[in-house]
Amino acid sequence: MYVRNNIRWRVVWKYSRRSVCIFLLYAFLVCVVYGPLNFKSIAIPWQPVATLGIAVSFYIGFKNNGSYDRFWEGRQLWGGIVNYSRLWAVQALEFITSRVDAPDVNAPEATAEELTGRHQRLVHRQIAWCNSVRLQLRRQVADYWDTDVAPFLSQKESDDIRNLQNPAAHIIRLQAAELRILREDRGLLNDFQHMRLMQTLEELYNLQGGCERIKNTPFPRQYAYYSFVFVWLFSTLLPLGLISEFAQMGPDHIWLTIPFSVLISWVFNTIEVVGHTSENPFENQMNDVPMTSICRTIEIDLREMLGETNVPKKLEPIDDILY
> CB of 30 within 8 A of CB of 239?
yes
- CA–CA gap between residue 220 and residue 153 (Å, rounded): 38
pLDDT, residue 200, reads 98
End-to-end CA gap in the chain: 6
Report residue 277 CA to chain centroid gap: 10
- CA–CA gap between residue 23 and residue 240 (Å, rounded): 12
- Average predicted confidence (pLDDT) for the chain: 93
Which portions of the chain are predicted below pLDDT 50? none
pLDDT, residue 286, reads 85
pLDDT, residue 103, reads 77
- Helices 291-305, 46-95: crossing angle, 10 deg rounding: 20
pTM higher than 0.85: yes
Amino acid, single-letter form, for residue 181 = I
CB-count burial class (<10 Å; 0-12, 13-18, 19+) for 67: buried
